[in-house]
Amino acid sequence: MKPLKLFGLALGATLALSTAALADDLTIAVAGPMTGTESAFGRQMKNGAEMAVADINAAGGVLGKKLALDTEDDACDPKQARSVAEKIAGQGIPFVAGHYCSSSSIPASEAYADGNVLQITPASTNPTFTERKLWNVARVCGRDDQQGAVAAAYIAKNFKGKNIAILNDKTTYGKGLADETKKALNKAGVTEKLYESYNKGDKDFNAIVSRLKRENIDLVYVGGYHQEAGLILRQMRDQGLKTILMAGDAMADKEYASITGPAGEGTLFTFGPDPRKKPTAASIVDKFKAKNIDPEGYTLYTYAAMQVWSQAAKKAGTTDAKKVMDTIKAGSWDTVIGKLQYDSKGDIKQLDYVVYKWDASGNYAEINPKGS
């Protein structure tokens, strides 16, 4: 009997805890990789979400209620993302900003759809996310087919006649992006000399680097996350390669430079035009700076996701996910990253990826601020 009693006690305590969030607060969630290799980006999302909730509450909350934020960790693991999604849906939370990894956002979105949760991803760029005709998904970032096209155009223009290799990490995001880039490159008449995949989580890329060396590769395009890309770059320099590394939006965190050191200079990646530089963002960027946070990468995108939802909920006069989603798709929203409008799938209409370059001091900047 004793273990049973204990179990009952524990159960009671958990229930008490989960209902402890003030009853008259409106809880919304942010979900992303708060731990693990991608946690740098989870932290960006958390920072953005916390600031957004604080600002929305300071302006009077949503529908007369203050917002409370629930932060959930998916560790960039599809299984954990799914269980996080079920937990969020089970708690009756109407809105989640998440996730980061496309391989998390996609399985989670189905649980959100079943549980009547509206999901806006600040960062998942895989096209599949909005291509499955799910009613509850939207994003504030671009898509990999657009991103790959911009990368391919840049490569075709600046690396004409050079040797190109494409690598991917076999994840939904990495492989998706590598394939889109390859498709766009081949269309532009550039054929890659090498197309290989590696395992996300690998640390030793020396064998693959020697292959790049044998093929005299001038530019390697990596569809993958920043840790592996950083290690590939480091091992390329150790083996004396001058090859330029180019990748996607997953490089937009200073952690990339802390892995590569000064060798990261010259690395290229595609990302939306720096949200920190938009005039609409100036005052919010200052607020982050005052807290000693650099709102880089997807921080402001997460902030924007929160803004889109809160504005739409106010306009719709309800937090019911279906009604809010209809409102989102019908309207136009002023966010920290600019004015956003949605198509029927949940993708934003205005899109502009640009190419960034890392410098020797560990910072990155747009190569051509006007966009190319």
**Sign of torsion, CA 188 190 196 200?**
negative
Asked whether position 71 contacts other proteins by CB under 8 A, the answer is no
CB contact at 8 A, 41 and 100? yes
**Sign of torsion, CA 299 258 169 178?**
positive
Asked whether position 234 contacts other proteins by CB under 8 A, the answer is yes
Asked whether position 357 contacts other proteins by CB under 8 A, the answer is no
DSSP-assigned letters across all residues of 17-30:
HHT-S-TTSEEEEE
Choices 81-89, 97-105, 256-264, 335-343; region in contact with other proteins by CB under 8 A: 256-264
CB contact at 8 A, 310 and 335? no
Asked whether position 230 contacts other proteins by CB under 8 A, the answer is yes
Choices 251-259, 271-279, 312-320, 332-340; region in contact with other proteins by CB under 8 A: 251-259
Residue 243 DSSP label = P
Choices 95-103, 255-263, 298-306, 336-344; region in contact with other proteins by CB under 8 A: 255-263
Q: Looking at beta carbons only, is 149 or 252 nearer to other proteins?
A: 252
Strands 118-121 and 137-139: parallel
Asked whether position 242 contacts other proteins by CB under 8 A, the answer is no
Measured CA to CA, the distance from residue 124 to residue 143 in angstroms comes to 8
Asked whether position 360 contacts other proteins by CB under 8 A, the answer is no
Asked whether position 199 contacts other proteins by CB under 8 A, the answer is yes
Intra-chain end-to-end CA distance of the chain, in Å = 71
Asked whether position 266 contacts other proteins by CB under 8 A, the answer is no
Whole-Å CA distances, 341 to 22, 97, 344? 34, 17, 10
Choices 128-136, 149-157, 213-221, 345-353; region in contact with other proteins by CB under 8 A: 213-221
Q: Which of 261, 266, 273, 331 binds other proteins (CB under 8 A)?
A: 261
CB contact at 8 A, 122 and 48? yes
Q: Looking at beta carbons only, is 208 or 305 nearer to other proteins?
A: 208
Q: Which of 65, 66, 87, 170 binds other proteins (CB under 8 A)?
A: 170
Q: Looking at beta carbons only, is 28 or 76 nearer to other proteins?
A: 76
Helices marked H in the chain: 2-18, 39-58, 78-90, 102-114, 128-131, 144-158, 172-187, 206-214, 226-238, 255-260, 282-290, 299-316, 321-330
Choices 203-211, 268-276, 292-300, 314-322; region in contact with other proteins by CB under 8 A: 203-211
Asked whether position 207 contacts other proteins by CB under 8 A, the answer is yes
Measured CA to CA, the distance from residue 88 to residue 82 in angstroms comes to 10
Q: Which residues bind other proteins (CB under 8 A)?
A: 34-37, 39-40, 170, 196-199, 201, 203-204, 206-208, 210-211, 213-214, 216, 227, 230-231, 234, 238-240, 255, 258-259, 261-263
